[in-house]
Amino acid sequence: MASRVHESERRRSRDARRGRHRASAQIEPFTRGFSALGELAASGAQVSLRINDITTGEMLMSADDHVVVPTASIGKVLLLIEVAARLGDADFSGLTILDREPLDAVADSGVWQHLQAPSLPVADLAALVGATSDNLATNVLLRHIGLDAVRHRAEEIGLKRTALLDIVRDHRGPDNAPQLSVGSARELAWLFQALATGEIVDATTSRRVLAWLSLNTDLSLVASGFGLDPLAHREPDHGIQLFNKTGSGVGVRAEAGILRGPNGAVSYAVCTSYDDTELGTRLGVVDAVRILGQDLLEYVH
What confidence tens digit (pLDDT) does each residue in 134-178 have? 999 999 999 999 999 999 999 999 999 999 999 999 999 999 999
Q: Where is average pLDDT lowest: 3-12, 45-54, 81-90?
A: 3-12
Q: How confident is the model at residue 1, as a pLDDT?
A: 61
Radius of gyration for the chain, computed over Cα atoms and rounded to the nearest angstrom: 19
- Answer yes or no: are the C-beta atoms of 227 and 298 closer than 8 Å: no
Residue whose C-alpha is closest to residue 1's, from 30, 40, 28, 31 = 40
289 pLDDT above the threshold of 90: yes
Average model confidence (pLDDT) across the chain: 91
What confidence tens digit (pLDDT) does each residue in 81-132 have? 999 999 978 788 999 999 999 999 999 999 999 999 999 999 999 999 999 9
179 pLDDT above the threshold of 50: yes
Q: How confident is the model at residue 88, as a pLDDT?
A: 79
235 pLDDT above the threshold of 90: yes
pTM higher than 0.85, yes or no?
yes
Q: How far apart are CA 98 and CA 104, in angstroms?
A: 12
- Answer yes or no: are the C-beta atoms of 75 and 163 closer than 8 Å: yes
Q: What percent of the chain has pLDDT over 90?
A: 87
What type of residue is 119?
S
